[in-house]
Chain A
Amino acid sequence: MKIDEIKSIIEEKFPNAIVQSELEVTQPYLELGREALHEICLFLKEDKRLHFDFLSCLSGVDYGEKEGQLGVVYHLYSLIHEHGLVLKCKISREPGAESLPSVSGIWKAADWHEREAFDMVGIRFEGHPDHRRILLPEDWEGHPLRKDYEEAEAYHGIKIKY
């Protein structure tokens, strides 16, 4: 199925959910608002025409201080219909505001990916069943893939900076 068909199916069900979309690039994407994200994801998986059952990748992104935004990019794929979709959701970088609804109840694959996004970029996922760091130690300070990340001098007496 072509991206514009997918877009129209989503728009039919959720009229104002798509904030922005780019269809003319190599990999077209749809940007969603955070409010309807969980509902739309559930719809994308359940709907027989779309049937996005495979979450290939979930990436947390820090768009930098200038843009003031963090984002999560979902790469979905349908094993039955063999079509893909890129979803984006951007949120503010302000401390306390950086949270999104978790989709780990829809695709279990999101569980570890969301933990990684939290670990590396510092995005919190509401409703995640096991919200811990995954790659870094539990008592590590900061989120390394933030663009303004400054590593600490030492970690438990081990020198970090070189």
Chain B
Amino acid sequence: MPQLPNSEKNEIPYQELLQRAAPNKTRLEDLKTEEMILNIGPQHPSTHGVLRLEVVTDGELIVEVIPHLGYLHRCFEKHAEALSYPQILPYTDRMDYLSSMNNNMAFAMGVEKMMGIDEQIPPRVEYIRVLVAELNRIASHMIALGTYGLDIGAFTPFLWTFRDREHIMNLLEWVSGSRMLYNYIWIGGLFYDLPVGFEERCREFVNYFRPKMDELNRLITHNEIFVKRTANVGTLPLDVAVNFACSGPVLRASGLKWDLRRVDGYSVYDELEFDIPIGKGEVGSVGDCWDRFKVRVDEVEESLKIIEQCLDKLQKKYKRSPDFDPRALCPPKARPKAQEYYVRAENPRGELGFYFIADGKSDRPFRCKSRGPSFCNLSVLPELSRGILIADLVAIIGSIDIVLGEVDR
């Protein structure tokens, strides 16, 4: 039995310490004769990170799933109370690390609103923000789609989506200097203007990428094995989704046209044209795993539309000019007046919210709570997975598309 090196009470076995720190909720004596506890994770590829699932099974059937979180808890909220607003921005990158631009944007929008400079942000800045956020949304959905194939045994789509995602990574690296954790959208502006020639390259990418989605659809979305594996599995009724405050593609797949980009029309989204795809139950019932997958596929198309419109605006109406300074409004010291503000924005996974309390006396927030979409979407998992097969559990987790960096923060 391994022992912890510096433990004061070295005589306590490691297994017992583990049981104290992360005990199972189900007690062995409460189990029925035919039931047993199966532990999945925290190191398991199908949990998409460090999620531990305590599964009570009856043969192949699942009686109860109890998620155990916190393996990736990095004290975002505690750190935020000790840092000034611009310093917190890089920490938001690390929450949902697959969509850093969207996180930056939500946080920056919130602080700008509190500072009262949200109306003065130049349109070029806003369009660049939307452009990079949508690029990041595609990249994030590509991971969701690719790894979902991987979860249920299709390897090729994963390679194809990652090949295409790489082009977005290159574009965003060119913009921000970083591949994943961009810290590009700043409070009051941007880190830099777009590099010269970016618009043209981005348009090239859009033209390259559009046919790839048809390929992906032919490869996996309408593939018979894939449909058999996902249709009518993990059906999430709309009322349950709303009750659990699911948002993003999970809520839309259950049939509700609900997208904060349209509802709130923040930034310049109200000037852009795009549709909101919802689950229709084409091959199964509304709100099943296939619908959640399809909604993401359709959203990629919509994001491409948005990107093209942004590029049009950036090349014609709000052109690059030598005296454009994207940092002109960035406050040297962000000190909002005493107030409370809850900002929300549409992340690739749903509603990302930040609740700030500013006391007006310091540069640091008094309280900064973040509401991660993955956190709320994951909470519906026990409800979805009662009485299903273990193999379907993997399909359901993948279709919810969680990022543990945001669940645990």
- State the A residues within 8 Å of B (CB): 25-27, 29, 53-57, 59, 61-62, 73, 75, 79, 82, 86, 107-109, 111-112, 120, 130, 132-139, 144-145, 154, 156-159
Nearest CB to that of B242 among chain A residues? A53
Decide if B256 touches A27 in the complex (CB within 8 Å).
Answer: no
Is there a chain A Cβ closer than 8 Å to B245's Cβ? yes
Nearest CB to that of B408 among chain A residues? A135
Is there a chain A Cβ closer than 8 Å to B196's Cβ? no
Q: List 11 A-B contacts (CB under 8 A).
A: A25-B339, A54-B242, A56-B342, A59-B367, A73-B355, A75-B371, A120-B77, A133-B70, A139-B21, A145-B367, A157-B6
Residues of chain A contacted by B351 (CB below 8 angstroms): 56
Residues of chain A contacted by B244 (CB below 8 angstroms): 108-109
10 shortest A-B CB distances, which residue pairs? A109-B245, A157-B7, A59-B369, A137-B21, A157-B6, A135-B70, A57-B371, A112-B379, A135-B73, A108-B243
Decide if A26 touches B339 in the complex (CB within 8 Å).
Answer: yes
Size class of B's contact patch? 35 or more
Q: A145-B77, A156-B17 are in contact. List 7 more A-B contacts (CB 8 A).
A: A27-B340, A57-B369, A61-B369, A79-B256, A79-B258, A133-B70, A139-B20
Residues of chain B contacted by A79 (CB below 8 angstroms): 242, 256, 258
Is there a chain A Cβ closer than 8 Å to B376's Cβ? yes
Interface string of B320-355 (1 = CB under 8 A from A): 000000000000000000011110100000010101
Residues of chain A contacted by B375 (CB below 8 angstroms): 112
Interface centre among B21, B353, B408 (most CB of A within 10 A): B21
CA A62 to CA B357, docked complex, whole Å: 11
Given contacts A112-B375, A135-B73, A137-B70, contact A55 B342 (CB under 8 A): no
Secondary structure type dominating chain A contacts = loop
CA A120 to CA B113, docked complex, whole Å: 27
Decide if A56 touches B340 in the complex (CB within 8 Å).
Answer: no
Residues of chain B contacted by A54 (CB below 8 angstroms): 242, 245
**Nearest Cβ distance between residue B42 and chain A, in whole angstroms?**
13
Given contacts A79-B258, A135-B408, A138-B20, contact A61 B5 (CB under 8 A): no
- State the B residues within 8 Å of A (CB): 4-8, 17, 20-23, 25, 69-70, 73, 75, 77-78, 81, 113-114, 240, 242-245, 256, 258, 263, 339-342, 344, 351, 353, 355, 357, 367, 369, 371, 375-376, 379-380, 383, 408-409
**Nearest Cβ distance between residue B37 and chain A, in whole angstroms?**
17
Residues of chain A contacted by B69 (CB below 8 angstroms): 134-135
Residues of chain A contacted by B256 (CB below 8 angstroms): 79
Residues of chain B contacted by A156 (CB below 8 angstroms): 4, 7, 17, 21
Nearest CB to that of B6 among chain A residues? A157
**Nearest Cβ distance between residue B299 and chain A, in whole angstroms?**
19
CA A59 to CA B359, docked complex, whole Å: 17
Decide if B70 touches A134 in the complex (CB within 8 Å).
Answer: yes
Decide if A132 touches B355 in the complex (CB within 8 Å).
Answer: no
CA A82 to CA B383, docked complex, whole Å: 27
Given contacts A112-B376, A145-B77, contact A136 B4 (CB under 8 A): no
CA A122 to CA B184, docked complex, whole Å: 36
CA A134 to CA B372, docked complex, whole Å: 14
Residues of chain A contacted by B353 (CB below 8 angstroms): 56-57, 75
Residues of chain A contacted by B383 (CB below 8 angstroms): 108
User: Out of B114, B242, B342, which one reaches A75, CB within 8 Å?
Assistant: B342
Decide if A75 touches B20 in the complex (CB within 8 Å).
Answer: no
**Nearest Cβ distance between residue B303 and chain A, in whole angstroms?**
23
User: Out of B22, B23, B341, B367, which one reaches A61, CB within 8 Å?
Assistant: B367
Residues of chain A contacted by B243 (CB below 8 angstroms): 53, 107-109
Decide if A75 touches B70 in the complex (CB within 8 Å).
Answer: no
Residues of chain A contacted by B21 (CB below 8 angstroms): 137-139, 156
Interface centre among A86, A130, A134 (most CB of B within 10 A): A134
Residues of chain B contacted by A59 (CB below 8 angstroms): 355, 367, 369
Nearest CB to that of B10 among chain A residues? A157
Residues of chain A contacted by B344 (CB below 8 angstroms): 56
CA A53 to CA B4, docked complex, whole Å: 48
CA A138 to CA B17, docked complex, whole Å: 11
Nearest CB to that of B264 among chain A residues? A82
CA A25 to CA B338, docked complex, whole Å: 10
CA A144 to CA B17, docked complex, whole Å: 21
Nearest CB to that of B340 among chain A residues? A27
Nearest CB to that of A56 among chain B residues? B353
Decide if A61 touches B379 in the complex (CB within 8 Å).
Answer: no
CA A108 to CA B329, docked complex, whole Å: 41
Interface centre among A53, A59, A144, A154 (most CB of B within 10 A): A59
Given contacts A137-B21, A144-B78, A158-B6, contact A109 B379 (CB under 8 A): yes
Residues of chain B contacted by A111 (CB below 8 angstroms): 379
Decide if A27 touches B341 in the complex (CB within 8 Å).
Answer: yes
Decide if A145 touches B342 in the complex (CB within 8 Å).
Answer: no
Nearest CB to that of B9 among chain A residues? A157
Decide if B77 touches A75 in the complex (CB within 8 Å).
Answer: no
**Nearest Cβ distance between residue B369 and chain A, in whole angstroms?**
4
CA A61 to CA B25, docked complex, whole Å: 27
